[in-house]
Amino acid sequence: MRPGWSRRRLAVAARSWLSTSVLLVLVAATASILANKSITNVVTSFLIYTSLVVGYQMFMGNSGIVSFGHVAFFGIGAYCAALLNIPPETKELALPALPTFLQQTQTGALPAIVIAAALSALVALVIGFAPSRMQAETMGIATFAVLVIVYTVIHNWEEVTRGGLGIYDIPPVMTPVYALLGLVIITGVALAYKASPYGLRIQGARDDPLAVESLGVHLVPERLFCFVVSAAVMGAGGAMWAHNARAFGPASFYFRDTFNIIAMMIVGGSASVTGAIVGSAVVTVVSELMRFAENGIVIGMIEVPQIHGAVQLSVALLILATLFLRPTGIMGTGELILPFSQWARDFKKWIRR
């Protein structure tokens, strides 16, 4: 007896998608009304980074497996999209050893994002085969190897990635509106996946693997599918990120960002898509505030010296506080649903009065 598509689940997913989208639009609109350049930048990077967190949530939230390797797909997506969309003149100068067909093309942002997602999915399919066959506990650790493999390749494949020097001149086309659009689409995908039979089966494997297997569900293909889908979304997120970053190197896709993304998930609530978004917002705000401390600030006459590692330290303490006080995260297992119909009724009453 395998679970099928459920209209009720899809309806609930659609409602929380609508609610989340409305809130995200409000955030983006507030930023554009303020029209402050640094706020716009923070909001754009927040929206893009949140897409990555949602992509990661699709794996960890549904399968319950802590993966340390997903940032690798973020990196693959970013490099793939960048190589497709850097102007040919720059590529001739910076990457003379690139194959000619790649050197001469400039696909534009949207095809680059789609191809980046496809490539990430392909890599995940090849490399995820072995980890998917392991025990759940071991799989998460094995994905750590994926992170190191991809980092090593990016860091040393100088003909294609310029190694540690990094690549530059990616057209910065990600306006807040595009970033918002991307995140809304990705949130929709994540909510639909969670409500789909595929999502249900992998959630069953998370909660009670034995029971799910006894219903005739094979865990290995379900895990692999979840891994691949989530990697594709991470790849798309990475491609969007690349179109906002202009220039980047391999260091962006390693331990630091693995930690950030996991922190956002845990603080918001790993079993919830909206939790990933809320957690991303909380951690972004905390990090932005602590960044001042890290760089040293002058308040009036008092000079606060640089505090090295203040951002990571405070985020790590935030994780511990969450785990101690509310292990399921801010959103728990629920999704955000705004009571629009209730509000509409209240509004009508208020009009009549």
Query: Which residues sit at the interface with other proteins, rule CB under 8 A?
Result: 64-66, 127, 129-131, 133-138, 140-142, 144-145, 148-149, 152-153, 156-157, 209-210, 213, 219, 255, 259, 262-263, 266, 270, 307-310, 312-313, 315-317, 319-320, 323-324, 327
Residue closer to other proteins (CB basis): 255 or 347? 255
What is the nearest approach in angstroms of other proteins to the Cβ of residue 60? 8
What is the nearest approach in angstroms of other proteins to the Cβ of residue 151? 9
Q: What is d(CA 353, CA 295) in angstroms, rounded to the nearest whole number?
A: 55
What is the nearest approach in angstroms of other proteins to the Cβ of residue 250? 12
| Strand intervals (E) in the chain | 297-299, 302-304
CA 250 vs CA 24, 167, 221: distances in Å: 30, 9, 31
Amino acid at 55: G
What is the nearest approach in angstroms of other proteins to the Cβ of residue 256? 9
Contact 150, 75 (CB under 8 A): yes
Only one residue has tokens 């039979």, namely: 197
Count the neighbouring beta carbons within 10 Å of the beta carbon of residue 274: 25
End-to-end CA distance of the chain: 54
Candidates 114, 32, 67; CA nearest to 265 is 67
Amino acid at 172: P
Residue closer to other proteins (CB basis): 104 or 306? 306
What is the nearest approach in angstroms of other proteins to the Cβ of residue 145? 4
What is the nearest approach in angstroms of other proteins to the Cβ of residue 20? 24
What is the nearest approach in angstroms of other proteins to the Cβ of residue 276? 14
Q: Residue 162 is encoded by which pair of tokens?
A: 């310029």
Residue closer to other proteins (CB basis): 93 or 316? 316
Residue closer to other proteins (CB basis): 102 or 153? 153
Amino acid at 199: G
Residue closer to other proteins (CB basis): 104 or 152? 152
CA 125 vs CA 223, 231, 304: distances in Å: 11, 9, 49
Residue closer to other proteins (CB basis): 101 or 324? 324
What is the nearest approach in angstroms of other proteins to the Cβ of residue 127? 7
Residue closer to other proteins (CB basis): 26 or 317? 317
Amino acid at 245: A
Q: Residue 279 is encoded by which pair of tokens?
A: 């957690």
Candidates 278, 261, 259; CA nearest to 329 is 278
Residue closer to other proteins (CB basis): 180 or 273? 273
Helix (H, G, I), strand (E, B) or coil at 204: helix
